[in-house]
Structures are given as structure tokens and as C-alpha cells.
Amino acid sequence: MNTKYETQHLILRVCTRREASMVLDFYKRNFEDFAKYEPLSYPQATQLRFHEEILQYEYDSFLKGRNLRFYLFEKNNPLRIIGTLSYRNITGSYYSCCQLGYKMDGGYRRKGYMHEAIALGNELLFRETSLHRIEAIVMPNNEASIKLLEGLGFVQEGLMRDKIYLNGRWEDHYMYALLNSEN
């Protein structure tokens, strides 16, 4: 798998620790919004060293074929991160599955960018790793993500009660999945 791909509007790229300042800027711009949907620690998410270490881990995991995180850039602004697309816990053999994750800068939502990125990412994962299944979880009140996943062909499989502890309480999440045969 390559470290860089392009769509009609975007560049999807695996970043290295040298680009931690761009990642830090992305998280600082969007921290409050991201904290609604994932367990983030403000002190960590706003420290350059934290992002350097995460980027090194992500790059090493990419080389081993276990995880893949693309950082998203508009083609006309390749130095400003506007989103991320990740595939975690890539497992072959009998399981043949991974978990999808994504986040988009607040100023770039509802432009079709994430749909464009995930469509390419799913195609790459199914073709280049021969995975059978891509899973995604989403909070029941996150209507935009539900619409995005369903628009990409993901099917809701059920509700996972008290799945993630966020902002002082356990939150339910829907499980969605896309099978390679449905792609």
C-alpha cells in the first residue's frame, strides 16, 4: 500500500513525526468538537511531543500492515490537515476485518470530502488486503455520520450498549459494517 493517494478534491497521506505541528494545529482547531465523540485529554492533545509519538506509532503500524491513518488535505492546500481517515486493527485470516474511524475539521463538513476519502480507502483496503469486512461504530445521535456510513453502503447491525466512556458517562453506539461482497 502506498503512503499517498489522490481523489478528485483531496490528497490522502500517511504522515510522519516530522509533520506533528500540522497534526497539533488540526487538533487545536477542533478539540471541543472531537471531544464530544472520542475520549481526548486536552493536555495531551495540545502537546507537540504527544503527536510526534503518535505519528511514529502510526507509521510503524502502517509498515507492519496493522493500522492505516490517512491525513486529508485539500489539493489546493497541501499543508493544512482537514481530516483523518483510519483503519485500525487490520486482521487477516479467519477474522479478515478492521475498524474504520474518521474525523473532519468543522469548516470542511458537508462538502462530500469524507465520503470521497472513505470510498477510496474502502476500495484500497478491500483490494490490497483482501479484507472481508470493515466495521464502524457511531453514536445514535450522530446523524451526519449515520447518513455518511449508510450512503457508503454500510449496514447497521445492532446497538452496543455502554460502548465508550465519554465526558463522564457510558455512551451507546451503533455497529455498522460493510462486507467486501457488498462493495
The number of distinct structural domains making up the chain is: 1
First vs last C-alpha separation in the chain: 19
Residue pLDDT tens, the chain, 183 long: 899 999 999 999 999 999 999 999 998 898 888 877 777 665 677 789 999 999 999 999 999 999 999 999 999 999 999 999 999 999 988 889 999 999 999 999 999 999 999 999 999 999 998 899 999 999 999 999 999 999 999 999 999 999 988 888 899 999 999 999 865
Full residue range of the structural domain in which residue 38 is found = 4-182
Residue 131 CA to residue 95 CA, distance in Å, equals: 9
CATH of residue 86: 3.40.630.30
Q: Residue 69 has what pLDDT?
A: 97
The whole-angstrom separation of Cα 1 and Cα 128 is 7
